[in-house]
Chain A
């Protein structure tokens, strides 16, 4: 590895740049500043903003799951622009590139415009909504009586109408509603739920010392968290990025500490060791916890020197950052994580999340300014209490196809193990799956081993894809493609966002023959003989949700320049939702699931051998998964991904900047261009998630870059069932 001693040689961006005006000038002179003009342009002075007034429609951005408040600018029935809603506490009037590009979801020339059915030749033909519902409903009803309701699996993201989807499945009798959690945050949720009984967020704006392990808040961008952290930085907060590569956040932070992939756990355990050994933990912090003595015993051997050996981060750096956190506590935190090493990229993700939770607990930062905070209770009533929704279909008692929540995967309850689908289809065990509905997710380019998944899906009796674009999954495997109205054309369920109630409302009527998911579910239920389960509309549902608060949907919608209605103050739970009511450094839930009571060192599953690489992946700020690569503005910002590789490794393989390379794992190979960078540990290669589109219907995105997910073997990390995508070894060769 040769990267021991990393921390001592780290550089501060300010020191690096101090007095380097000449160096900066030299950089700016670099030839890459010159741009090639593009054909088809139009002069912008001629298209300066007209002075005619626009209609501003308040709504919620759905380009990612952050759900920023937006103002949709509409003139002559056309959306001209989307800006942040200054009255919304999430966006504060500011939007990232994706949020602003949202209008191209509506006007993408490659958008789905009508329902499609695949004919015997394999081509898609237009079909009426009536016929599509009739045929799909008949098939689902037949399947239910012949095979049983468990033969239907529903895959979904981003889960805006999750409760409606679950209601449909409950009415049908299938337990198999399946979110994308294992490809994203399963391990994080399992680790935090075991320790705190909830997944916390951070008080980014008020923190004094912030440490991230693989979380890039401006890579997998969270607008409000970036705004918060940059506010903290203006007030002098210290930002530390542990990451195997120089991510966007690492390049922005005060210090980048390269860490060997999969070994963050060693560093966090050693920081806990330092806090306890140096008596930097306040008694009031210990008083909030159970299991402190057990944790102290467990981490005794995890000295900074021990962690340096494992992680490549030198001991002095580990000690210094642990002391820095303690000195700034309680206005200090280690990011709870989202999708990275805590989220479930590695085999030891649950252990890392638990260790992160313990480290935060020892800082005494829970509920403190600049520390961690628990989510507030929703001001909306429990759906079960609403007369409109009676009778509530009962959740089926059948076991899930993927075992989540069952004896083998008790802690994965509610998150599923979507990656098990191909194996279940192939083996027919624990029971045959015969039909899959896919809502706004793209499993064949988002779940592991996508090519195997395509083959499996093609064996089914019925695959229905609901989306607004011809996704890779729709193109390769769907029998029916049902076009959904975009979030700018349809009503959504009332949301709680930033402590406010917000109504996702249409800015314009649908421009094509599309329907909202609510209407698709209602009519699908009718066609399947389950119409009684949806005897209400989304408008009526919203009204019923708001009525106990003394509000009507119109109160949220009828404002030209909106002021979101402040939600009633959410009551903080008196005690944590853990068995002890305290922060469980030692967790009884983990012990019941067969795990260690306190976090201990667990190695990553695989190790590169010098001839191969560990494949690591991550998000970029201009794209959301595979859903945005075909939108012109975002495509222009980043049309394809590249393989980041250290120059020393590239040279040995005869690879130069921009060369086409083949990346091969045990399950697949992909081709993309190489990017040589010193900003990555030599033992790993990195690529952005979300590319390698195989749907020719997406003309901009098609064939650009490579899919990381396709390269990933199907795996399930302990306790959480997360996909452990970074436990993938690959070889790289130049394509000649």
Chain B
């Protein structure tokens, strides 16, 4: 049993959106429907101003609120990988999961009438490849691997760089960690 996870080190993120386009291009998605989106937040007053730019995507929670509210079981946690996946045949497009996700990581696909999100590129990972966003990241800000193995590169980096998930207090146990 693996638990796939990701580290996004914002001190190395060039804010270039290469991850966003990598996802769109790999999956042939319509422009703007990527699984990763950059969000910026500004705090402080001139000249003590800080702007944080945060790539946001499905956090692949171990306690995913989206799974709990899904009435059809279309969204589920895959125990083999620890990822949150979608069964599009079962999705009825009710969007409860979008409401439940505290990270705003899900989006509605009007054409399909279903909800879509980052799938951690599990089909690539099975072939020994990296997720597309990790492969192209020009700052090497992203690391992907097995959080279940404390000796994996991603696990060690999370510990060494003191990476934190978003909203740990919600008890969702996200699998995406950030270095601020």
Chain A positions within 8 Å of B, measured between CB atoms, are: 3, 6, 9-11, 13-14, 16-17, 20-21, 23-25, 27-30, 32-35, 37-49, 80-84, 93-97, 99-101, 103, 218, 221, 223, 226-227, 230-231, 233-234, 246, 248, 251-252, 256, 258, 621-622, 632-637, 646, 677-682
- From the candidates A6, A25, A48, name the one contacting B169 in the complex (CB within 8 A): A25
* B46, A646: Cβ atoms closer than 8 Å: yes
* B53, A251: Cβ atoms closer than 8 Å: yes
* B42, A679: Cβ atoms closer than 8 Å: yes
- From the candidates B16, B29, B88, B103, name the one contacting A33 in the complex (CB within 8 A): B103
14 pairs of residues in contact across A and B, judged by CB atoms under 8 Å: A10-B48, A33-B39, A33-B56, A40-B30, A41-B111, A41-B112, A43-B112, A43-B116, A49-B27, A49-B123, A230-B12, A621-B15, A636-B32, A678-B44
Residues of B within 8 A of A99 (CB): 18
Least Cβ–Cβ distance between B163 and chain A, in angstroms: 11
* A679, B46: Cβ atoms closer than 8 Å: yes
The residue of chain B having its C-beta at the shortest distance from the C-beta of A230 within the complex is: B139
- From the candidates A41, A100, A679, name the one contacting B22 in the complex (CB within 8 A): A100
- A429–B103 alpha-carbon span in the complex (Å): 63
- A233–B13 alpha-carbon span in the complex (Å): 11
Residue among B14, B140, B141 facing the most chain A CB atoms (10 A cut-off)? B14
Q: Mark B59-102, 1 if CB is under 8 A from A, else 0.
A: 00000000000000000000000000010100000000000001
- A13–B141 alpha-carbon span in the complex (Å): 17
* A40, B111: Cβ atoms closer than 8 Å: yes
- A29–B141 alpha-carbon span in the complex (Å): 23
Given contacts A258-B46, A637-B17, contact A226 B28 (CB under 8 A): no
Q: Mark B34-55, 1 if CB is under 8 A from A, else 0.
A: 0101010111111111111110
* B108, A95: Cβ atoms closer than 8 Å: no
Is B156 part of the binding interface, using a Cβ–Cβ cutoff of 8 Å? no
Least Cβ–Cβ distance between B108 and chain A, in angstroms: 4
Residues of A within 8 A of B178 (CB): 24
Inter-chain CB contacts under 8 Å: number: 226
* A96, B88: Cβ atoms closer than 8 Å: no
- A30–B109 alpha-carbon span in the complex (Å): 23
Least Cβ–Cβ distance between B165 and chain A, in angstroms: 9
* B140, A682: Cβ atoms closer than 8 Å: no
* A16, B138: Cβ atoms closer than 8 Å: no
* B46, A682: Cβ atoms closer than 8 Å: yes
* A100, B139: Cβ atoms closer than 8 Å: no
Residue among A17, A25, A45, A635 facing the most chain B CB atoms (10 A cut-off)? A45
Interface residues of B in 127-171 (CB under 8 A from A): 135-141, 164, 166-169
- From the candidates B30, B45, B102, B166, name the one contacting A24 in the complex (CB within 8 A): B166
Residues of A within 8 A of B27 (CB): 44, 47-49
Residues of B within 8 A of A14 (CB): 180
The residue of chain A having its C-beta at the shortest distance from the C-beta of B13 within the complex is: A252
Given contacts A41-B116, A233-B12, contact A226 B139 (CB under 8 A): yes
Residue among B13, B110, B137, B138 facing the most chain A CB atoms (10 A cut-off)? B138
* A100, B46: Cβ atoms closer than 8 Å: no
* A35, B107: Cβ atoms closer than 8 Å: yes
- From the candidates A16, A96, A680, name the one contacting B18 in the complex (CB within 8 A): A96
Residues of A within 8 A of B13 (CB): 252
Is B31 part of the binding interface, using a Cβ–Cβ cutoff of 8 Å? yes
- A93–B137 alpha-carbon span in the complex (Å): 9
Residues of B within 8 A of A17 (CB): 50, 52, 180
